[in-house]
Amino acid sequence: MRKLIVVNEPRNWDLHVPGVELVASRDYLTDPRFSKLRNVRVFNLSRSYAYQSRGYYVSLLAEARVHKVIPNAKAILDMRSRSMVKVLSRDLEGVMQSALADVPENVFTLSVYFGRNVEKRYDKLAHELNKVFQAPLFRARFMRSDKWELRSLRTIPMSEIPDEHHEDLEVFAEAYFGRRRYDPERADTSKYDLAILVNPEDTAVPSNKRAIVKFKQMAISMGFAVDLIGPEDIDRVGEYDALFIRENTHVDHHTYRFASRAKREGIEVMDSPEAILKCNNKVYLAEVLAASGVPTPNTLIVHSENRDMVASKFGLPVVLKLPDSTFSRGVVKASDKEELKARLDEVLEESDLAIAQEYIPTDYDWRVGVLDGKPLYACKYFMARGHWQIYNWSSSKHDDQTGNFETVAIEQAPPLVVESALKAVFAIGVEGLFGVDLKEKDGKVYVIEVNECPNVDHGVEDKVLGDRIYEAIIRSLLDRIERKIGMRP
């Protein structure tokens, strides 16, 4: 990937960055050769990003040319908006109060150079600010009344950086542009950059370690440079062309923030924030599947006013689900009236709405993997030993937490199972990778749920396709990137 640093006057640029091309903003805006470039990363270090200034247009045209630019136009406008600065800085409350606790004055200005500050005690605050506001050089102004608040941000040109800071600036710039992601030596071997989000603390990982290795190897063979990133790396999202989330996802969670950040910055992401939002809420799923005529177990959206209808509508036992339940967590079975009352008390204490579904006992659930609207794999997941679900999180024995599995070729899966899975995904209306859980009983098929971050484990879901399953998923991300930049129809 070609790297450009865009500045107003290259002759006034004091930093030397090997392997990165220094370009005048006037040339970037007017020289036709730059508009024709593809696979480019632009670091916009213009003197000003004021609306309709030259710096503003560098970022705006970079996005129009499908060049990856830091900062992008939205980030520039967010920095100039006092209300957006206030909203976006809310997550910085703790680090802000801690870092500025000993400042005697009630007004404080912090200079952020490539995500760093020359004073070690303010370095963490500078780093956290740069996660939210991804401009290379800027100043943040804080004011204190009852507590410290971030009041404004403004970008700064090189000419405003004091001479005594230049030695540190050199170090910060070298570290910033020397990141593996920005290393120009990688440009000859890798067309695109892929981040795979993983989390060793996740107890229900959607891909085991060997599968992650397979994904990485396949992506490299297809022209990607690949990094594994973790929950603390949200500030790095803008460095990549694509983000692949391999961590159990939730809406009120960093996985959703990663997906949303990628979407805002024009980065291809699997899974998208829309998919996370829709699939994580069982109330939404129940409504949209019913509206689309997707076969599901008899279902009722439960609240405090209709909770007494559950037993008469479904009989006992009955299944209760919290709206954001995943991997069988937040899903319980009530077998008698006393247990039903206790379980309803629990779920309605946590959420105003819950789901009740008829209990359909089967020896296994089907899982059909669907990629971009086409069936990818089919598995039977058998119930955990002595349990009614495929996961038994209450078991202290690891071997008893999950049941066995059987992976079959798509063409060997019952056609009605595959058709119902596709119908469910089409009802969601979002492209990407999904896993549809279904039950088959007495010649009928029922969709249980749609998962936007389904398992792809080495030795399980890849049992039939082998490496082709990893190739298909990485190919989906690659095709999206190249469609966006006009390399494919």
DSSP 189: T
For the cut 90, the answer to whether the pLDDT of residue 244 exceeds it is yes
Check if 189-271+479-484 and 284-292+361-451 are the same fold: no
Q: How many CA atoms lie within 13 A of 464 on its CB side?
A: 16
* Residue 335 or residue 252, greater confidence: 335
Q: Is 3 helix (H, G, I), strand (E, B) or coil?
A: strand
Rounded to 10 deg, the angle between the 282-291 and 415-428 helix axes is: 110
User: Per DSSP, which regions of 58-118 are E strands?
Assistant: 68-70, 107-113
Most confident among 259-268, 377-386, 430-439, 477-486 (mean pLDDT) = 430-439
User: Which residue(s) pair with 106 in the sheet?
Assistant: none
Question: For residue 489, what pLDDT is reported?
Answer: 57
- On the CB side of 191, CA atoms within 13 Å amount to 11
- pLDDT above 90 covers what percent of the chain? 58
pLDDT of 77 over the 90 cut: no
As assigned by CATH, the class of the 284-292+361-451 domain is alpha beta
Q: Give the burial class of 191: count Cβ atoms within 10 A of its Cβ; 0-12 exposed, 13-18 middle, 19 or more buried.
A: middle
Tokens for 67, please give them: 């060049």
Residue ranges covered by each domain of the chain? 2-181, 189-271+479-484, 284-292+361-451, 298-359
> Which residues are within 8 A (CB) of 65 and not within 5 positions of it... i.e. 6 or more apart?
34, 35, 37, 40
Rounded average pLDDT over 206-215: 95
Q: How far apart are CA 212 and CA 422, in angstroms?
A: 26
CA separation for the pair 184, 245 (Å, rounded)? 26
Q: 487 pLDDT exceeds 70?
A: no
pLDDT at 105: 95
Residue 221 in this model has a pLDDT that exceeds 60:
yes
Lowest mean pLDDT among 54-63, 238-247, 265-274, 319-328: 319-328
State whether CATH 1.10.240.10 applies to domain 189-271+479-484.
no
Helices (H), ranges, 318-358: 337-350
- Inform me whether the pLDDT recorded for 488 exceeds 70: no
Mean pLDDT of the chain: 88
> Which class in CATH covers the domain with range 298-359?
alpha beta
Reading the block at residue 293, the tokens are: 């005529």
For residue 77, give the H/E element and its range.
helix 73-80
Residue for token pair 């969601």: 428
Q: What is the pLDDT of residue 133?
A: 83
